[in-house]
């Protein structure tokens, strides 16, 4: 699903105009970005946590030349799903049991 499809789905579910949904979604994404930029984390109970993680500088190799290089330290956004989200996804992807076999017993006719 892309952003346009998400906006359409939200508009259908809420009955709100797509322009209002677009403003709300953009405000949500801006708020998440601003919160992480400040170094804070955002916790949505049941859904998950948006946080940052720091990756230290480390040695690496140029894959084309094999030459050693230094990879810079980085601060990256991270999302950790909450229990309700994990459970919902797991349930949706759980294999379905095979359908029960129909009984072959002959039915008695009454009458």
Mark whether 30 and 64 lie in a shared domain.
no
How many domains does the chain fold into? 2
In a domain, 102, yes or no: no
Q: DSSP 3-state helix, strand, coil percentages of the chain (rounded to 5)? A: 40, 25, 40
Mark whether 20 and 57 lie in a shared domain.
no
Per-residue confidence (pLDDT) for residue 104, from 0 to 100 = 64
In a domain, 101, yes or no: no
Residues of the chain with pLDDT under 70: 103-111
State the CB neighbour count (10 A cutoff) for residue 21. 19
pTM surpassing 0.75?
no
Mark whether 26 and 52 lie in a shared domain.
no
Per-residue confidence (pLDDT) for residue 111, from 0 to 100 = 58
Taking every pair of Cα atoms in the chain, the longest distance, rounded to a whole number of angstroms, is: 91
């Amino acid at each position: 699903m892309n952003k346009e499809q998400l906006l359409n789905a939200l508009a259908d579910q809420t009955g709100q105009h797509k322009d209002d949904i677009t403003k709300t979604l953009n405000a949500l994404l801006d708020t998440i970005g601003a919160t992480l930029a400040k170094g804070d984390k955002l916790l949505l109970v049941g859904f998950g946590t948006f946080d940052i993680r720091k990756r230290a500088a480390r040695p690496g190799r140029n894959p084309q030349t094999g030459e050693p290089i230094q990879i810079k330290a980085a601060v990256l956004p991270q999302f950790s799903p909450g229990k309700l989200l994990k459970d919902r996804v797991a349930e949706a992807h759980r294999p379905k049991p095979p359908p029960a076999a129909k009984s072959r017993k002959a039915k008695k006719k009454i009458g």
